[in-house]
Amino acid sequence: MSTTEFLTRLVVAAIAGLIIGFERQWHHKETGLKTNTLVAIGAAAFVLLSIKVGETEANIDVTRITAQVVMGVGFLGAGVIFREGDNVHGLNSAATIWCSAAIGSIAASGYFIEALICTFLVIGINTAIEPIDNWLKNRKG
């Protein structure tokens, strides 16, 4: 992989994270612009490292690092979940961080259109389903 391709994949991941982070920050959620962008870039960097190492080393399973990204982001997401009495907050933010990492991984793998589709799917779900979610939470018995 050339340096240009490496940079392109990293920039696509960053843009996807920025778009998701912008939507989260616009709606005043726990994780916003910087968090989602950094998660997408970080996931992409690990996947790109895996791909680069796989190009130079024989018998390397490039999916192993990606699997560890999934695990690591799970711990990061757990950090934004908190409990207040009977209510649990931050689950959607944690899920969004997880999706940002997945999208960063997709972009790093060179699937730009797929990364864009996933990005706008996350935005659509976080935006369009919010009113329905609020209605369900606030309805009487």
Measured in degrees and rounded to the nearest 5, phi and psi for residue 87 equal: -95, 145
Parent domain of 120: 3-138
Measured in degrees and rounded to the nearest 5, phi and psi for residue 79 equal: -70, -20
- Whole-number pLDDT of residue 12: 97
Measured in degrees and rounded to the nearest 5, phi and psi for residue 81 equal: -95, 130
- Whole-number pLDDT of residue 140: 75
Question: Over the chain (141 residues), what is each successive 10-residue block's mean pLDDT?
Answer: 94 96 90 93 94 83 83 83 79 91 95 96 93 84 65
- Whole-number pLDDT of residue 58: 77
The amino acid sitting at 40 is A
- Whole-number pLDDT of residue 85: 79
- Whole-number pLDDT of residue 110: 95
Total domains, the chain: 1
Nearest to 125 by CA among 105, 106, 98: 98
Write down the H helix ranges in the chain.
3-26, 33-56, 63-78, 91-108, 112-128, 130-138
The 8-class DSSP code of residue 31 comes to S
- Whole-number pLDDT of residue 141: 65
- C-alpha torsion sign, points 52, 53, 54, 57: positive
